Amino acid sequence: MACAILLSALAGCSSIGAATAPSAYADAGCSELNVAIGTTSKEISAAAITRGKIDRFNVPFWVPGGRQAAGVLKDRQSRRIEGLENRLSELRSARGTRCLQR
């Protein structure tokens, strides 16, 4: 029980980010795209830090299913990072097509 509470605390808000359609960026200006890129980058960093904490957490041998739960949480964070990286690449391509960089 205590391990489950600890693992969920380590997981934090580990819900996978909602998929955003490219049309959501159609009306966004360059500054809004820059803010979205910065926010997404921060989310990727936070998810990677959380995944590292879960990976380094030493689950006691006597906790039934503790290692499996930690593995599930780590996989969830990995999927979240992949989704965020996809969103980041969409944002960067939208910014590249609309915003002139000098």
pTM of the model as a whole: 0.70
The pLDDT value recorded for residue 23 is 60
First to last CA, the chain: 56
- What pLDDT does 5 receive? 44
Domains of the chain, first to last: 27-98 (1.10.287)
Q: Say what angle helices 30-56 and 66-98 make with each other, to 10 degrees.
A: 160
Give the pLDDT score at 15.
44
89 versus 14: the higher-pLDDT residue is: 89
pLDDT above 90 covers a percentage of the chain that reads: 47
pLDDT digits (tens, 9 = 90+) for 12-55: 544 444 445 556 666 778 899 999 999 999 999 999 999 999 98
